[in-house]
């Protein structure tokens, strides 16, 4: 299978790349830090193809197209690139970077992959959203809103694929706290190691699930978040 993981320099993305390589797949990896991409390339010279670019800049579709050409095709695209930071004072730079990464870059790349799969007749997309997508958050407003955008977009693409009668599935991955640089704060709980999360994600993708919570126990939190009334939730968010 030919796979592209957007955002594979560290954390979940890197772990997924290695898991897929161990399953004898050809994996294209992207990120902003060429030295980290090259580390994986050196480990798996025959199975890893790196492409260094920043999703917040231009030419996202051109870069992905080039990587598809190098792979010789595409079966699965995983959009794992993400950005988020606390924005207590509604920092304009944080809000902008979050939106450029989690919305603009996301739409360009996932939109390209979906159209590619429509022409091909089959394929799968997985997007790393978040449990935070379910409700607004005063600590990081753009983060929760942008992750919500990703989840709703993924649902829309699943509906579109069905209407087009194409064998395309979009898997919406909703992690809770993962032990990466994006997980911040002192009140974290149920924090999962990246490898454990990656294994659960890969299994969910293989099962062609539409929505999956990582780790599984975060499904319970999600159900609570959905029904919590605003007057109570605002004390937490």
Predicted local confidence at residue 184, as pLDDT: 46
When divided into structural domains, the chain yields a total of: 1
Give per-residue pLDDT as tens, 147-184.
999 999 999 999 999 999 999 999 999 998 787 655 44
CB pairs under 8 A, 24+ apart, for 40-48? 40/8, 40/14, 43/18, 44/18, 47/21, 48/17, 48/21
* Residue 186: predicted pLDDT: 46
* Residue 232: its H or E element: helix 230-233
With a pLDDT cut of 90, the percent of the chain lying above it is 76
The whole domain housing 36 covers 2-233
Banded pLDDT at 185 (limits 50, 70, 90) = very low
Convert the pLDDT of each residue in 110-137 to its tens digit: 999 999 999 999 999 999 999 989 989 8
Find the mean pLDDT for residues 89-94.
Answer: 93
pTM of the model: 0.91
The confidence score (pLDDT) of residue 172 equals 98
Specify the 3-state DSSP secondary structure of 211.
Answer: strand
> Does pLDDT of 23 surpass 70?
yes
Q: Indicate whether 53 pLDDT > 50.
A: yes
Q: What is the pLDDT of residue 74?
A: 98
Residue 45 has pLDDT above 70, yes or no: yes
Mean of all residue pLDDT scores within the chain: 92
The whole-number pLDDT of residue 230 equals 82
The strand ranges marked E within the chain are 2-6, 26-31, 48-52, 76-79, 122-128, 167-175, 211-214
- Give the domain CATH number at 151: 3.40.50.720
Among 38-42, 102-106, 136-140, 216-220, the range scoring the smallest mean pLDDT is 216-220
pLDDT band, residue 218 (cuts 50/70/90): confident
């Amino acid at each position: 299978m030919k796979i592209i993981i957007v955002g594979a320099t560290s954390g979940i993305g890197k772990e997924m790349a290695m898991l897929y390589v161990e399953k004898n797949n050809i994996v294209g990896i992207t990120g902003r830090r060429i030295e980290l991409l090259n580390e994986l390339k050196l480990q798996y010279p025959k199975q890893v193809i790196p492409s260094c670019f920043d999703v917040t800049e231009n030419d996202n579709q051109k870069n992905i197209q080039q990587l598809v050409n190098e792979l010789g095709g595409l079966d699965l695209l995983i959009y794992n690139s993400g950005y988020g930071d606390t924005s207590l004072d509604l920092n304009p730079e944080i809000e902008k970077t979050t939106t450029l990464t989690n919305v603009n870059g996301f739409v360009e790349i996932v939109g390209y992959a979906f159209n590619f799969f429509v022409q091909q007749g089959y394929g799968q997309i997985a997007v790393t959203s978040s449990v935070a997508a379910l409700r607004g958050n005063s600590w990081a407003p753009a983060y929760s809103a942008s992750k919500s955008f990703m989840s709703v977009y993924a649902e829309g693409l699943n509906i579109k694929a069905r209407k087009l009668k194409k064998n395309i599935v979009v898997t919406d991955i909703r992690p809770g706290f993962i032990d990466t640089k994006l997980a911040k704060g002192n009140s974290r709980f149920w924090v999962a190691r990246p490898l454990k999360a990656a294994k659960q994600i890969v299994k969910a993708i293989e099962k062609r699930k539409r929505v999956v919570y990582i780790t599984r126990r975060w499904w319970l939190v999600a159900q609570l978040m959905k029904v919590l009334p605003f007057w109570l939730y605002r004390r937490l968010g």
